Amino acid sequence: MPASQWSDDIRAGLRDILLSRIGQAQRDPALALLAIMLRRSAIDWIFGGTKGSSSFDHKFAVGAVNLACIEVRVCLEDSRAAEAREQRAQEILPFVYDILEVAIMGLGNDGSQWVNIPSDVLVKTHDMLVATFGTALETLYEWRVCFLHRPFFFSFVIR
């Protein structure tokens, strides 16, 4: 089976899984696989082709980014017990951050398929990203205040 065929099959399967109503048990492994595939293939892989081709699909790309944004906000704003929240965050946040990072790199690239998405959809995606990073900054501020008088090492990794 050629590499493009299995890659297309993975995209189709992930699209079916992530754009349907599923539980956390199915969604988390799908998000992990999506993050891995985006790292391997770059953001244009998620579109499945170029605009005008029968395989071009911006709904999956936008839906995946929106889902990643929602997962970040749920993990950071979760009101469950701290231990349960931290466990969930450790499992899924690295993957959704990877998805968001690759998406943002694609948005900043003029040659990316993002330029083929309708402007109203891009505005909604932008608003979702802004809200997500607002939540992340609020969380970092809360941690800073919480650990202000305690020795605590805090670092960020920027690729």
Alpha-carbon radius of gyration of the chain: 17
pLDDT score, position 121: 87
Report how far Cα 113 is from the mean position of its chain's Cα atoms.
Answer: 17
Give pLDDT tens digits for 91-141.
888 899 999 988 888 888 776 677 778 888 888 988 999 999 888 888 878
Q: Where are the domains of the chain?
A: 3-146
The number of residues in the chain equals: 159
What are 20's two structure tokens?
A: 């349907």
Residue 117 near residue 128 (C-beta atoms within 8 A): no
In this structure, which long-range contacts are made by residues 18-26, counting pairs with CB atoms below 8 Å and at least 24 apart in sequence? 18/60, 18/63, 18/64, 18/67, 19/59, 19/60, 19/63
User: Could you read off the pLDDT of 27-63 as tens digits, one per residue?
Assistant: 899 999 999 998 888 777 888 765 556 556 788 888 9
| Percent share of the chain, pLDDT over 90 | 14
Whole-number Å distance between alpha carbons of 6 and 147: 47
pLDDT digits (tens, 9 = 90+) for 10-35: 888 999 998 888 888 888 999 999 99
| The model scores a pTM over 0.85 | no
